[in-house]
């Protein structure tokens, strides 16, 4: 299976662009996937194409994460041709936080959307798809039933704890112990028990207040250095973990709240957040390889993360994990964008829609 050269060009006046969008959810979080209307992006790699969007055509992202076309709680996904011969398709993820290198829930949403659009075979036998994202390659095992994607299990990009424990003075909360963890994107990791907040019982408003205060207190120069990707943008996401719970039936569960700037408590525990949690637990010696952990969001949505073992990322020791979820398609629609809704990047935005059409098929 391989992504073809181009997606379909929009028809109609240049002042209005028509995009074919599939809306899906995984773990409770909504990911919108552009299926048609965007051409090939400039750039020879998935990273380069994401950088073009970020620096030359960010209006596409902004339109989908703010009214009237979207909300800050929704993310946007764009399927692009891969640059790595081992990959079947490329994926660029956009959200209110910017351009994360990877997102598990959005990768699952993209797979469900491809199946819904019949661009991915939906046989009953489990199949494998390799996605190339700006963070690297991720292998997804897809289980289908009745021509729909029922489960997706993916091996995540390696995660690691980037710093030792720091203490930060946060107004209204005193000295807060935290660390930076990478799970495919950057997280500020806090254990709720150490500040008196249980993500399983605290109100969404209380979680928002704490996380917003924490982000406001961070030094903007404090960021993760990835051994392969270099210095990452300052973190805009917070991982607030509750105390692990063990059950003879369900196994190990961890309440997990993920905050996404500005002001969003994710409805799911997120795939990258689950990987970051497993990296944190293994670093502390609290999780042996082979253990599966159910991460549970404040809204009751669940992902399953399995610690596969350790991994080397350059000169850093991290973790290999697999994440399992159940994506579902919610809607399919046409979205119209007007050029006058954009600001400084109209020329870059226009370049998204000027090449000849193709079918964007995977396979």
C-beta atoms surrounding 54 within 10 Å: 16
Q: What is the mean pLDDT of residues 330-335?
A: 94
DSSP per residue, 20-82: EEEEEEETTEEEEEEEEB--PPSSSSHHHHHHHHHHH-THHHHHHSSTTT--TT-EEEEEE--
CA–CA separation, 13 and 347 (whole Å): 16
Residues pairing with 31 in the sheet: 24, 75
Confidence of residue 305 (pLDDT cuts 50, 70, 90): very high
Q: What is the mean pLDDT of residues 120-141?
A: 87
Confidence of residue 12 (pLDDT cuts 50, 70, 90): very low
Q: For 333-357, what is each residue's pLDDT tens digit? A: 999 887 665 544 444 555 555 433 3
Q: What is the pLDDT of residue 171?
A: 93
Identify the top-confidence range among 70-84, 110-124, 294-308: 294-308
Q: Which residues are catalytic?
A: 103
Q: Are 306 and 153 in contact (CB under 8 A)?
A: no
- For the chain, domains (ranges, CATH) are 16-157+328-353 (3.10.310.10), 160-325 (3.10.310.10)
CA–CA separation, 156 and 103 (whole Å): 9
Q: What is the pLDDT of residue 9?
A: 39
Nearest in space to 179 (alpha carbons), one of 135, 240, 134: 240
Q: What is the mean pLDDT of residues 150-166?
A: 94
């Amino acid at each position: 299976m391989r992504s073809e050269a181009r997606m379909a060009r929009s028809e109609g006046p240049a002042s209005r662009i028509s995009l074919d969008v599939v809306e899906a959810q995984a773990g409770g979080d909504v990911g919108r996937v552009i299926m048609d209307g965007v051409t090939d992006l400039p750039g020879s790699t998935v990273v380069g194409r994401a950088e073009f969007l970020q620096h030359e055509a960010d209006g596409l992202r902004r339109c989908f994460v703010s009214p009237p076309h979207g909300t800050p709680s929704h993310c946007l996904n764009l399927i692009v041709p891969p640059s790595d011969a081992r990959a079947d398709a490329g994926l660029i993820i956009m959200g209110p936080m910017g351009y994360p290198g990877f997102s598990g829930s959005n990768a699952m949403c993209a797979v469900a959307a491809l199946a819904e659009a019949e661009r991915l075979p939906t046989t009953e036998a489990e199949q494998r798809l390799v996605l190339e994202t700006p963070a690297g390659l991720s292998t997804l095992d897809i289980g289908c039933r009745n021509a729909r994607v029922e489960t997706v299990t993916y091996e995540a990009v390696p995660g690691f704890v980037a710093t030792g424990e720091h203490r930060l003075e946060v107004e209204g909360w005193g000295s807060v112990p935290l660390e930076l963890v990478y799970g495919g994107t950057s997280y500020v990791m806090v254990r709720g028990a150490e500040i008196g907040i249980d993500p399983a019982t605290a109100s969404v408003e209380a979680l928002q207040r704490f996380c917003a205060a924490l982000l406001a207190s961070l030094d903007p120069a404090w960021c993760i250095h990835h051994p392969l990707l270099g210095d990452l943008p300052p973190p805009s996401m917070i991982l607030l973990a509750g105390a692990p719970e063990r059950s003879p039936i369900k196994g190990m569960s961890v309440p997990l709240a993920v905050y996404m700037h500005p002001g969003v408590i994710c409805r799911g525990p997120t795939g990258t957040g689950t990987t970051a949690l497993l990296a944190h637990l293994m670093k502390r010696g609290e999780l042996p390889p082979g253990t599966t952990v159910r991460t549970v969001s404040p809204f009751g949505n669940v992902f399953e993360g399995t610690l596969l073992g350790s991994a080397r990322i350059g000169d850093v020791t991290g973790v290999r994990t697999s994440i399992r979820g159940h994506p579902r398609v919610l809607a399919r629609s046409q979205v119209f964008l007007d050029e006058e809704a954009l600001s400084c990047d109209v020329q870059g935005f226009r370049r998204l829609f000027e090449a000849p059409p193709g079918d964007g098929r995977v396979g």
